[in-house]
Amino acid sequence: MDLFTSSNDIQHQPLAYRMRPENMTEYIGQEHIVSEGRLLRRMIQADQLLSLIFYGPPGTGKTTLARVIANSTKSVFTSMNAVLSGVKVLREELDKAKERLTLHGRRTILFVDEIHRWNKAQQDALLPWVENGTVILIGATTQNPYFEVNSALVSRSRIFQLKELTQENLKDIANQALSNKERGYGKYSIQFETGALEHLVDIANGDARSLLNAIELAVETTGDTFPPKDDSQIVISLETAEESIQKKVVLYDKEGDYHFDIISAFIKSIRGSDPDATIYWLAKMIKAGEDPHFIFRRMLISASEDIGLADPNSLVIVESAAAAFDRVGLPEGRYHLTHAALYLATAPKSNSALGFFDALKAIEKEQNSQVPNHLKDAGRDKEGFGHGEGYLYPHAYRDHWVAQQYLPDALQGKVFYNPSSLGYEADIKNEVLRKREAQIESQNPSSFPEILTTSPPDKTRDRWFEKLQHGRGEILKDIQKIFFTLAEIRSHHIILDLNTGSGLLLWEASRRVREGSVYGLTSSLETLQYLQQYGNQIPEMERPTILNQNLEEFTYNNKGKLKFDVIMGRNTLGRIKDKPTYLKNIKKLGTPEGKIILTETLTGESTRLSSLLLGLSEVLNETDQLYINLLIKAERIIYESDNNSGTNWKEKDLISWMETTGYSTINFQKKIYKEQRTITDNDIQNWFNPGGSEYSYGAVLGNIIKPEELEKIKLFLIKYLSGKSLPWESTICFITGKLPGRLKN
């Protein structure tokens, strides 16, 4: 069965059918997956399709995308509707596909609309043919494929989520239909009264099919006949528009993904203490016919999970509101729903009840911990085994409390409950902590020697060496973690890495961007070759594009074709002399709502050689002190000279450059990393290399003292620093900025 078979008279088809795009140029909306540079667009253009599943609300372009693929691929394209076609039809199509591949070497792309309507047996029948490459599957569904589609099919497919079309998208679609002379109404004179077309766009609520159906109804029912006689003008009033699309499309299915998305948004709004959003999502659920008992059930959970002991009364309030609702019913029962929801949204929050799950984890890990003897049941075995002996009865003491051990020996000092500083818990927090501290202080170990320390003799030393060896790696991991938390990268983003280096940011960005793409710039041909070799292990369509270009060269070659959602870089600015101009040029490559994020080492705030020497415990003589003073003098030139663009800038300079070049929502933070760094002879030789940078220690001191004195300072450093593990601090900053609105060159 072919969903795309053309009618002999296309004008007899509905407008929504006639206006389906024939190619990517005509396709409107879903820029996050089909705009220039996105993975799906590249796959379609290259005709290198993998199995795909399009998932999204009705009218967002799933079948339309399949039509575009059908018109562009060299493979045989066949389609069926899961509602109308069973296993028999599917097997016939699969047999044909196998024959084409065997006899003619031609691939078959099979489009299955509403694939979620097939049961497990029907989906299982398709699986082996997808797995062995006989067919490439393109499925379309309004339901979450992770719930409704065979997990084996999902794991072998790319999932692309289509979103509700924006009002701008719908206006473009409407204008396209009204101007197209072959498939739309372009050959007629049609005029919408003020607000009429806008009303259709608004009520369509992201559904292009509903919009086009409404336009068709409005156009073809206005006047006595259609087509109009004598080329008369068709004037569509606001009243006609309202009659053509009377009810706003509500994208909500109580059995589908939107049901879970909206209840999730409702609970998260409560957790986030936003009463306005809480009421909005509550109203959306009630409007769509959600079961109020389901909503009350989720609020009862939230009362203990999110509010908890910060306000113990919250559970009572929700339970009372639920009981009142059962007595009153709808529609007045909506007051009780709102009452409970607003109470939770405005109540103080605490998730201290999650300590229970920490206790569960401890139980899974523990080695058969015994109940402390004094807590055992004295009623049965007190005489024979001494169970219960030593138990202190709290009610016999002041304030009905006495310090004694309650946890098993192996878990002494383990904390499961952390009271928050809000509401009721704020009142009890200090008392809870005081009692906990008193219990720990008063405890004596029981007779379980096997639970005492079992550390090997060299464990501390081994850990120290491990930290010494891997400390730098841990710092880089932390920098990467903070960086990508701030970057807020989405899977459809297009990203530019300004300075790939060894790929610390590049590869992580590639892992996070599955439907977009990543571009990296490097000025080193050797680095380019290394990165390309490493990238060969990644599938070609997922591989980042790495270029041996600087920003200026890339901008020129790009010619405005690619726009980036996130522009990032690590230690990018250090060697740039004119940093404001560089930051300004970066903006040209961003999308209107693009984001820049940079992480830079503030060299001037990091450890210096002189500070290492001053921190030594050795007694220094006058000559040694003279050498240190010379190093301090050199460091003033290295780190504070106006001519050294690599080190002469500080936090305030970076923020100022971002502000003056037009970035908004600027966020700056920095972190000091401490590590033990072993100084080697090679390090010292590099610092004093006469052929190094003009701002190296060797070059700067060479302008102040004689070569023989310079050699003495080098030997002095080797004597006191070489081979020693010394405390080293590095100051790393992270700065983000947004590009507000559309850019003006």
The predicted-structure confidence for 344-382, as pLDDT tens digits, reads as follows 998 988 888 888 887 888 777 766 677 777 777 766 655
For position 514, what pLDDT does the model report?
Answer: 81
H-type alpha helices, 163-252: 167-179, 196-204, 208-221, 238-244
For position 313, what pLDDT does the model report?
Answer: 92
For position 23, what pLDDT does the model report?
Answer: 85
Higher pLDDT, 168 or 475: 168
**Token digits of residue 227:** 């087509």
For position 1, what pLDDT does the model report?
Answer: 47
Q: Is the pLDDT score of 455 beyond 50?
A: no
Mind listing the pLDDT tens digit for each residue in 574-601? 878 888 999 999 988 999 889 999 999 8
675: Cβ contacts below 8 Å, ≥ 6 apart: 471, 472, 475, 727, 728, 730
Q: Is the pLDDT score of 442 beyond 50?
A: no
* Side-by-side strand order, sheet with 725-738: 545-547, 517-521, 494-497, 564-570, 590-601, 725-738, 664-678
Q: Is the pLDDT score of 520 beyond 90?
A: yes
In the chain, pLDDT over 70 holds for what percent of residues? 84
Higher pLDDT, 469 or 25: 25
The letter for the amino acid at 421 is: S
Quick one: average pLDDT of 125-150?
Answer: 87
- Best CA proximity match to 636, nearest among 609, 674, 669: 609
For position 453, what pLDDT does the model report?
Answer: 28
Q: Is the pLDDT score of 725 beyond 80?
A: no
Mind listing the pLDDT tens digit for each residue in 609-654? 888 888 776 767 888 888 888 888 888 888 877 777 777 788 898 9
**How many other C-beta atoms lie within 10 A of the C-beta of residue 354?**
14
Of the pLDDT bands very low, low, confident and very high (cuts 50, 70, 90), residue 35 is: confident
**Token digits of residue 376:** 């055992």
Q: Is the pLDDT score of 86 beyond 50?
A: yes
Quick one: average pLDDT of 44-56?
Answer: 88
For position 202, what pLDDT does the model report?
Answer: 86
Higher pLDDT, 625 or 462: 625
Q: Is the pLDDT score of 684 beyond 60?
A: yes
**Going from the N-terminus, what domains does the chain have, and what CATH number goes with each?**
30-161 (3.40.50.300), 167-244 (1.10.8.60), 257-349 (1.20.272.10), 466-602+649-675+727-744 (3.40.50.150), 607-644+681-722 (no CATH)
Q: Is the pLDDT score of 57 beyond 90?
A: no
The rounded mean pLDDT for the chain is 81
**How many other C-beta atoms lie within 10 A of the C-beta of residue 233?**
10
Q: Find which of 203-207, 436-440, 443-447 is predicted with most confidence, using mean pLDDT.
A: 203-207
The residues pairing with 570 across neighbouring beta strands, listed in sequence order, are 599
Q: Find which of 12-26, 276-290, 329-343, 728-742 is predicted with most confidence, using mean pLDDT.
A: 329-343
| Backbone torsions φ then ψ of 350, nearest 5 degrees | -155, 135
Q: Is the pLDDT score of 434 beyond 70?
A: no
DSSP code at position 327: H
Element holding 63 (H helix, E strand) = helix 62-72
Of the pLDDT bands very low, low, confident and very high (cuts 50, 70, 90), residue 116 is: confident
Q: Is the pLDDT score of 495 beyond 90?
A: yes
Q: Is the pLDDT score of 39 beyond 70?
A: yes
For position 444, what pLDDT does the model report?
Answer: 38
Of the pLDDT bands very low, low, confident and very high (cuts 50, 70, 90), residue 436 is: low
The residues pairing with 54 across neighbouring beta strands, listed in sequence order, are 140, 160
Higher pLDDT, 401 or 158: 158
The letter for the amino acid at 633 is: K
**Token digits of residue 289:** 């016919």
H-type alpha helices, 105-206: 120-131, 145-148, 151-155, 167-179, 196-204
Higher pLDDT, 69 or 725: 69
Give the integer Cα–Cα distance in Å for 505 and 569: 8
Peptide bond into 227 cis (omega under 30): yes
H-type alpha helices, 570-721: 579-587, 609-614, 622-640, 651-660, 681-687, 697-702, 707-721
DSSP code at position 204: H
Quick one: average pLDDT of 716-735?
Answer: 86
Residue found by looking up tokens 């920095």 in the block? 670
For position 462, what pLDDT does the model report?
Answer: 32
Quick one: average pLDDT of 702-720?
Answer: 85
DSSP 255-323: TSHHHHHHHHHHHHHHHTT-HHHHHHHHHHHHHTT--HHHHHHHHHHHIIIIIGGGSTHHHHHHHHHHH
For position 559, what pLDDT does the model report?
Answer: 86
| Least confident range of 158-172, 304-318, 442-456, 626-640 | 442-456
Q: Is the pLDDT score of 48 beyond 70?
A: yes
Give the integer Cα–Cα distance in Å for 60 and 30: 8
